[in-house]
Every structure is written in C-alpha cells, then in structure tokens.
Amino acid sequence: MTASSKPRTTPRAAPLEAGSGDSAFEASAFERSLGGEGPTPRIGSRRPALVLAALVGCIAVFSFVRWLATTPQLDATWAAGPLGELILVASPDATLDAHRGQGLVALGTPAQEARPVDAALLHRSPRWQVDDAARRHLVAQHEALAAQLAQGRVGLQFDDGTAITVPTPARGFAGLGATFWPLAGLALLLYLFGVVVVMARPRLSNALFAVMALCQAGNLLFIALENLRGLGLPPGMPAVDLPIRVALDLCTGAAAVHAFALHPLRLPRATTMAAAAWAGAALWLVGVLLVQPAHLWWWAQGACIALAAAALAVIARSQQRQPNPYALVMRRFAGIALATLVLTTLAVAVIARIPAATPGVATGASAAWHLFLASLLLLVPFLARSRQLLREFALLAGISTVATSLDLMFVALFSLGPFTSLAVAVFVALGLYAAGRQWILNHLIGSTVLSTERTFDQLYRAAREVQARPERYPQMLGQLLRELFDPLEMRSLDRLPTRSLVVGSGSALVVPLRPMDAAGTPACALALRFAQHGRRLFTLDDARLADRIVEQLRRAVAYDQAVEQGRVEERLRIAQDLHDDIGARLLTLMYQAQSPEMEDYIRHTLQDLKTLTRGLAAAEHRLSYAAAEWKADLTQRLTVAQVELGWSFSHDRDLRLSVVQWSALTRVLRELVTNALYHGAATRIDVSLVFEGPRLTLEITDDGRGRAPQAWAHGLGMGGVRKRVKLMGGEVQWRENSPRGIVCTVRVDTTPTVAP
C-alpha cells in the first residue's frame, strides 16, 4: 500500500497486549523493515542475569575504589613553577607544610641515590602527552615516586638544600578527592546501561553498544584516577595508561563501525566492513605498540579519527540507501563526535607546543570529550523516550568540549593567563548553550512542538466529518495523524496493539483504531513511518499524543451525537406542541372565518405549519422530497399572488439533507422569493436547483424592478440569508438580470450522505 492509500480494516486481527513490546509485529514485512524493535521489551526470565551483572559491576567498581584507597600517597598540594619546578603549596603534614613555597628537586634522602623530579609529576595522563620524550619522562617520574611511596616513607629534597623524610600513609576513601566519585558513578551507570540494553534484547547490535559503553566506562575510571588528591599513582598505572586507553578508544570506534553496518539497515558487505574495522584496531595495537614508533600519540589519534570517520561514512551510507530518522540522528551524533575529537586533538597538540602550559590543561580537554561521548552513549537508548535531562546533559557536555578546546587554542595564540582562560571557557560554553540550545536540539535529535491551535482545529474538522459519515472514521483519523506527524509512509497492520507503540528505534508509530463506541478490541491499526518525512524520531510523547487524539476524536463524536440527539428530542417536542396547540387554534379560526379570503389565508397558514412540523420531526430529508415540498409551497404562494413560477430541478444522485441544512435552505428560498415578490414586484420567478458532486446550486431569477444589488443596504432579510448560507459553508451572490430584475445564486459545497 502506498502512503496515500486508504488504510485497510482487519476486523479479525489479534490484539497485542500492552507492555509486550512489538514482537507480534515482526511477522509483517513492514515491521521487519523497521528492525523489529519495540519501546518497552520485557526482560522476563533474564532479570536474574541482569541483577547478577549489576552486582558484578558494583563489586568491581567497589573493589577498584577500595584498592585505590589502600595505595599510599604524598598528601600535599603542588603547583608548577615558572621554570617547570614542582612548588609545594600546602600540606596537612606539619613537617612537610613547613617547607611551603619551596621547590621539590629530588626524591630520596642524601644517603640514598636521589631521583630528580619536576612539574611532570602533575601530569597524570600519559595518554594525552603529545611528545614521546616527555611521555617517557613522565612515566619514569611516576614509577620512581610509586617505588618510594611503597616503602612507607619518602625522602624529599628541596631547592634550599634541606631534606626531610615524611610518612606515606594510605590515602583512604577521603583521599580519593571530590571529583573521583561522580566519575566513578558515571562509569558504573554507563556499564549498567550497556548491560540493560543487552539483557532487554540480546542481539549483536546491542552487544556492540554494550562494548562501547564498557570501553568508555573504563576510560572514565582512568579519568577518575587522574583526579586523585596529592601525588602518587598506583605502581604500573602510568606505564599502561596509553596502551589500555588507546585500546578502549579503538574498540569503541570498531564497535561503532560494526553496529552502524548492521543497524538500522544491514548494509551489503557488512561483515567485511566490521572485519576491516576490528582488524585495523587489532593491527594497530599489536604492531604499533610493540614497535613503539616515533610520534606515537599522533598514530593513536590518527587511528581513532580514522575509525570515527569510518563509522560516519557507514551510517551515512545506511541513511543514503534507506532514509531512516534513527540513521539520520546517528549520523549527526557521529559527525559531531568526529568534529569534537578533531578539535580536541588540535587543541591538545597546540597547547603541547607551549613550554609553560599549565599541567593538566590538555587532560581537562580530553576529559571533557570523553564525558561528551559517554553522554551520547547514555542518550542513545532513550532517543524515542524523550529523556530531556539526558539531552540537556549531552548538549552541555558537547558545548563544553568545544569551548574548552577553543580556549586551549586561545591560550596558545594569545598567551592568556589561567584565570582568564577559565573565564573565557565558561563564558563561551554558557553563551553557546543559551544561544544555540533549542536550535541544536531541533536539528540534532529532530524534536518538534505541535501547535495546540492547529491540533484542535484539525481534531474539530475530523469530528465533524466522522459525525456526518461514520464509515470514514479510519480514513479521517489517518488523515489527522498524517497532518500532525507528516510521516513519509503510512500503512495498516494485521496485528493490533492495545495502545500506541513506538517501534523500530523510533522510526515508526503504531496507532490502534478503536471502535467509536470504545467496546471490544481495535478494528485496525495504522503504522506511521518516519516522522516529518524522516527528519525526526517518534517518541513516547508522540505515542501518548496519538492515544489522546484517538480518544478525544471518539469523545468529540460521542458528544456531538448526544447533542444532536437532544436537538432531535427538542425539535420533536416543539413540533408536537405546534401541531397540537397552534394547529388546533388555527383550525378553529378557519372554521370561524367570516370570509372566503380569510379561510384561504388560514388554510395556507395551516399548510405551512404542517410543512414546518413535519420538517422538525424528521431527522433528515431526501433532497428529492424536499425539492417537491419547496415546489408545492412556492406554487401555492405564487398562484395566490398571481405570479408565474418557473421550476427546474436536476441531480446526479439523491442524498440526505440534515435538519440544519434542510431548515436553512427552506428559509433562504422563502426569503429570496419574498424579496422578489414584495420588494421587486416581480411577475415571474424562476427557480433552478442543481446538485452535482458535492456542490448544491440554488438560483432564483425574477423580472422585478430591483437594480444595482451592490448598493443595497442589507437588512435582517438579506443578512439572514448570508448568515445561513455561511453556516452551511457556502456563498451567496446577487447580480442584475437582463433586461430587468435580479439573479441570486447560492452555492454550497457539502458532503451529505447519499440516499440508498
């Protein structure tokens, strides 16, 4: 079925229970093209495995934290001097704090072999050290300090020639620092997200997402390790920092290439693409790290950027082969991640060329980028669930990454001080967030806000149409949903949910069509694919809106039916009162008439009253019957007035007029004929009534003395005609007749029900 076809009804379709996801839809070719993915899959028997995996993750993180708490440290605050020396700022140890402001030049007592030290100890991340010699120097100093700390006491030699020995107690939980805990918590949260995604729907693409989440959780733990208080890292950690973290980044990139080759569309040669990505990552790790070539950091960044570019190319290819809003959003995510990675790489490379750069500044930029990537991974499972907090966090993290990277370049280009550079970074981040928040959300994730006025207007028009023609309910609801969500494709489904569902990772919305009496299971279901012609994802908010639209349309029609029933009962009461009361009085007056003219006048009035009460009592009128009554009424009136009547009636099909339409047309016809008689003094009146298609045309022509209708002052009579025609959705026009008289034409576009 094409997007413009009328949805088909499947009355014997089996309903789908709420909360069962979309497994029942996978039998259709349409749903298979969506990837067979539902919004609320049940974990069921996998819940114990999920609890076990969560418990393992918590134990692993707690063990890691406890191990760090038992490692020794040199509890003091240090800063880099102008010549690269290590300056003591403060320490809770009284012996060490007595040397505040002095520079530390070596580790070890005079009796021992002293090891020179400098501000390189303030650099905690060899992974983001650009220069190879500086990286080796950094690792050597950290390993020498770790060896000294492991002895329980460490000797310190200062630039004034003094030497002291201070104890190196375990850092404890308090010594981990305030920044460590949220980073470790975020790492655990990212791990749990990956586990939940795999447990909810065990398949390869979700397992690849879990691999990416696990790798970035490891990166976050390394970043948390860099933010420990004091000096001293666990033995061996600086030496493995670069290879392990590069391995985590390369695995993330290879998993992204593999996942995009499979989802949302399995591309041709997907296995080859995945194998090439994993092989490239493995060859880099096995070859480059063993050979240890020059400019190792550039090789690492080049490999990461190459895999990110490959992931972007793969998802762009998927979007090109089959337009999909999920692929579109993933392409935007991949493009932004690649751009920020390139920008961060350039910023770190630029700041590394400044000898007096503050230690840890480049590491802060890399940490911001990893936080941004982690926020994107946290956001992906909730793209179709409208988790606003996660979206805001991802947006703020991305803008902060860009602002920090630009700030590093400003420091290198304009030699700004630390405070000034920090102020610029905060100002740029907040400015970008305030100015571009809504635009970025709309274009990155494709969010949109539906107009309440527009929705109400469309719902009102649909309710009027369904009330007039109940059999068009599925078609009108489909048209209403199409106008609200602008889908690229709409189809009917054989399997029915009990409520609206978002399927296919947000690429489609399935809406059940309940009967107008809300009894029983839905009669059919509509599947809307690719909201806003593929420019955004469907969300749970859209599903809730669709359910409300269906319910409100049903209630609006039920309310109108109740109102119409009340009107019918009131009209019957009025008709009965007129017939029993006014009719009896007129009949008495007719028998007591003192002249034949008075008797004829009362008889004609009784006939008009009979026509009026019969019209009020009927719920609807056939056009052919109404035309016959109108002709008989006009014939009687014009005969008494000695005016000639010309009557013409043609129709391509008979139809039913509602009481409102019948009443309005009756009064319009009588008013126009009355004007021709008493104001125009016509001797002949021609009436033409034509119905073709949905258009009903009524034309009254007279040969009276009326001229120049555009100059007329419209009183109650003509004003009433205009009002009644307008209420029917039509138009009325007066013009001069040739050689004399007036022609009035009434056109009404209506869709009354065709009579059998």
Return the residue matching tokens 């009967």. 515
Q: 81 Cβ partners below 8 Å, 6+ apart?
A: 87, 103, 119
Q: What is the pLDDT of residue 414?
A: 53
> Alpha-carbon distance 669 to 507, whole Å?
55
How many helices (DSSP H) and strands (DSSP E) are in the chain? 23, 19
Strand intervals (E) in 139-287: 153-158, 163-167
The pLDDT of 434-456, averaged and rounded, is: 54
Q: Report how far apart, in Å, the C-alpha atoms of 242 and of each of 131, 137, 498 are.
A: 13, 14, 53
Token code pair at residue 318 = 């998927």
Class of domain 620-756: alpha beta
Handedness of CA 70, 75, 80, 83 (dihedral sign): negative
pLDDT in tens, 636-688: 888 878 899 999 999 888 877 877 788 888 889 988 898 888 888 889 999 99
Token code pair at residue 701 = 């022509």
| CATH number for the domain formed by residue range(s) 15-32+449-560 | 3.30.450
The pLDDT of 565-594, averaged and rounded, is: 71
Three-state secondary structure call for residue 45: helix
Strand intervals (E) in 49-183: 77-80, 86-90, 103-107, 115-116, 153-158, 163-167
> Alpha-carbon distance 218 to 221, whole Å?
5
Three-state secondary structure call for residue 38: coil
CB 267 within 8 Å of CB 321: yes
Token code pair at residue 193 = 């997200």
| Residue 161 DSSP symbol | S
> Alpha-carbon distance 185 to 291, whole Å?
36
What strand order describes the sheet that includes 489-493? Answer: 489-493, 524-529, 508-513, 501-503
> Alpha-carbon distance 400 to 429, whole Å?
5
> Alpha-carbon distance 337 to 342, whole Å?
9
Strand partners, 525: 493, 512
Q: What is the pLDDT of residue 477?
A: 78
Token code pair at residue 168 = 């190196």
The pLDDT of 499-528, averaged and rounded, is: 73
Peptide bond into 739 cis (omega under 30): yes
Q: 366 Cβ partners below 8 Å, 6+ apart?
A: 125, 127, 128, 344, 348
CB 674 within 8 Å of CB 633: no
How much is the CA Rg of the chain, to the nearest whole Å? 41
Residues forming CATH 3.30.565.10 domain(s) in the chain: 620-756
Q: 166 Cβ partners below 8 Å, 6+ apart?
A: 74, 93, 95, 96, 153, 154, 156
> Alpha-carbon distance 503 to 527, whole Å?
9
> Alpha-carbon distance 422 to 445, whole Å?
30
| Residue 754 DSSP symbol | B
For residue 506, name the pLDDT band (cuts at 50, 70, 90). confident
Token code pair at residue 236 = 């061996």
pLDDT of residue 517 exceeding 60, the answer is no
pLDDT of residue 436 exceeding 70, the answer is no
Give Dmax over CA atoms of the chain in angstroms. 147
Q: Report how far apart, in Å, the C-alpha atoms of 376 and of each of 190, 284, 370, 379, 645 are.
A: 11, 26, 10, 5, 80
> Alpha-carbon distance 321 to 249, whole Å?
28
pLDDT in tens, 45-83: 677 888 888 899 999 999 999 999 999 999 898 888 888
> Alpha-carbon distance 277 to 262, whole Å?
13
Percent above pLDDT 70 for the chain: 72
pLDDT of residue 213 exceeding 50, the answer is yes
Give the residue, 641 or 383, on which the prediction is more confident.
641
CB 722 within 8 Å of CB 732: yes
Three-state secondary structure call for residue 686: strand
Peptide bond into 264 cis (omega under 30): yes
Strand partners, 701: 686, 743
Three-state secondary structure call for residue 276: helix
Report the candidate in 310, 302, 246, 309 with the shortest Cα–Cα distance to residue 272. 310
pLDDT in tens, 148-196: 888 888 989 998 888 899 998 898 898 888 889 989 999 999 999 899 8
Return the residue matching tokens 């009254």. 700
pLDDT in tens, 102-160: 999 988 876 667 788 888 888 888 888 888 998 999 999 999 899 888 888 898 999 88
pLDDT of residue 720 exceeding 60, the answer is yes
CB 188 within 8 Å of CB 58: yes
Please name the amino acid found at residue 116: P
Three-state secondary structure call for residue 72: strand
Strand partners, 490: 528
Strand partners, 684: 644
Mean pLDDT, the chain, rounded, equals 78
> Alpha-carbon distance 168 to 235, whole Å?
14
Token code pair at residue 697 = 């045309």
Report the candidate in 105, 101, 76 with the shortest Cα–Cα distance to residue 87. 101
Residues forming CATH 3.30.450 domain(s) in the chain: 15-32+449-560
CB 688 within 8 Å of CB 655: no
For residue 530, name the pLDDT band (cuts at 50, 70, 90). confident
> Alpha-carbon distance 113 to 265, whole Å?
64
Three-state secondary structure call for residue 711: helix
- Phi–psi pair at 240, nearest 5 degrees: -100, 0
Q: Classify residue 694 by burial, with Cβ atoms within 10 Å: 0-12, 13-18, 19+.
A: exposed
> Alpha-carbon distance 711 to 700, whole Å?
19
Neighbours of 750 (CB within 10 A): 16
